[in-house]
Amino acid sequence: MGNHVVIFEARGGSDKGEYGYRKDSMPIVKALLKRNWTAEIVFYEDEHRGEIYKYAVEKATAYISRINPGNLEDETGYFQMLRELVAHGVEGLPHPDAMSAYGAKNALTKLTDTALVPNDTYAYYDFEEFKSALRKNILTGVRVLKQNRGSTGEGIWRVELMGEPKMSKDGMLSLKSMVRCTEAKDNHVEERPLGEFIDFCAQYLTGSSGMIIDMPFMPRIVEGEIRVLMLRRTPVYVVHKKPAQTKDAFSATLYSGAAYTYQKPEEWPELMDMVEKNLDMIIEKLGGYSIPLIWSADFMLDDGPDGKDTYVLGEINASCVGFTTHLELADQVADEVVGFIEAEDIVNKRWPAYRVK
């Protein structure tokens, strides 16, 4: 069997071109062909999972996952198939557990003992725990809540207390206290009692991947969020996403009116230096998996203790990071795929290396 790559996609969604597949998938196929590899796009569907698995395990040297989380109603079957492919010798780009480890919002809580993430960043999976904690944390300042699912800012809320705190008999912040809530999806504002908002957030805790992240608001987000797009260990470009210049705006999504500027990594030397210095630590703390093929890290500016600029990590994306604005990167993607597979092939998997202590 020659070197063959299967690119998994899902049908439908706003990220597709006129022929039904992503605009940044076919350039990868063509770039691999130039390197004497073969590649194809396969649309994943749960009802055909067995047939797709059988085809891929027989034909593929590696797969590249290009499915946005929101494009599958339930990812359980898809991830199960990917794990089986990896277990039977197909290289995962990325490994399904790496997608989960990097892409889940609780990746931030695994980095709170580093300089990348504020130590008062928390993940909640239980409603009562979330309810009790938010009543305390909002007294410390403005908070940002993030659901684990969703995209384009949906379910990401800036929450701030309005007026003087009102305490209840149990010594906790009263659930009748008014809060001002701004959603990142479109920067719309809602003013409602804290208890009502907490009940509203219960929807984010449902299902097997239910989770809410609670972290301090970074006021300098108004200067822009800085997304670093990575090909494995290499930064390839930076997107400076500046929120709309309107009252209450803090969202860095295009849908909300943010302005995007595409820049070269060398235009952000301090940030690139920080990413390089922390990369091995990030890999270790997020499970030690092979680093994803295409991933991104979003940073916000903050004031360091010495008064100099520093950067706070707000999110990592690894499931399906697009590069439709820079399709020329397909050649670099192909080089990374070929280089990774050839490096893996040097070691016979039947007789792996062992450590001499």
Quick one: tokens of 1?
Answer: 């069997």
Residue 147 has a pLDDT of 92
Lowest mean pLDDT among 209-218, 246-255, 318-327, 337-346: 337-346
Q: For position 353, what pLDDT does the model report? A: 41
At 354, the pLDDT band (50, 70, 90 cuts) reads: very low
Q: What global pTM score does this model have? A: 0.88
Q: 297-313: per-residue pLDDT in tens?
A: 999 999 988 888 899 99
- Do residues 157 and 182 make contact, with C-beta atoms less than 8 angstroms apart? yes
Identity of residue 106: N
Strand 212-216 to strand 122-124: parallel, antiparallel, or no bridges (unpaired)?
A: antiparallel
Residue 314 pLDDT more than 90? yes
Domains, in order of start, for the chain: 4-94+337-345 (3.40.50), 114-217 (3.90.70), 220-328 (3.30.470.20)
Whole-number Å distance between alpha carbons of 236 and 329: 8
Q: Which residues pair with 183 in a beta bridge?
A: 157
CA–CA dist 30, 38 (Å, integer): 9
Condensed to tens digits (0 to 9), the pLDDT of residues 178-194 reads 999 999 989 999 999 99
pLDDT averaged over the chain? 90
Over range 109-136, report the average pLDDT: 95
Q: Which of 47, 64, 58, 72 is nearest to 333 (CA)?
A: 64
* C-alpha Rg value of the chain to the nearest Å: 22
Q: How far apart are the first and last CA of the chain?
A: 38
pLDDT at residue 23 greater than cutoff 70: yes
Quick check: helix, strand or coil at residue 142?
Answer: coil
- How confident is the model at residue 344, as a pLDDT? 61
Residues 314, 299: contact at Cβ < 8 Å? Answer: yes
Token pair 């198939």 in the structure block, residue: 81
Residue 295 has a pLDDT of 94
Predicted confidence (pLDDT) at residue 59 exceeds the cutoff of 80: yes
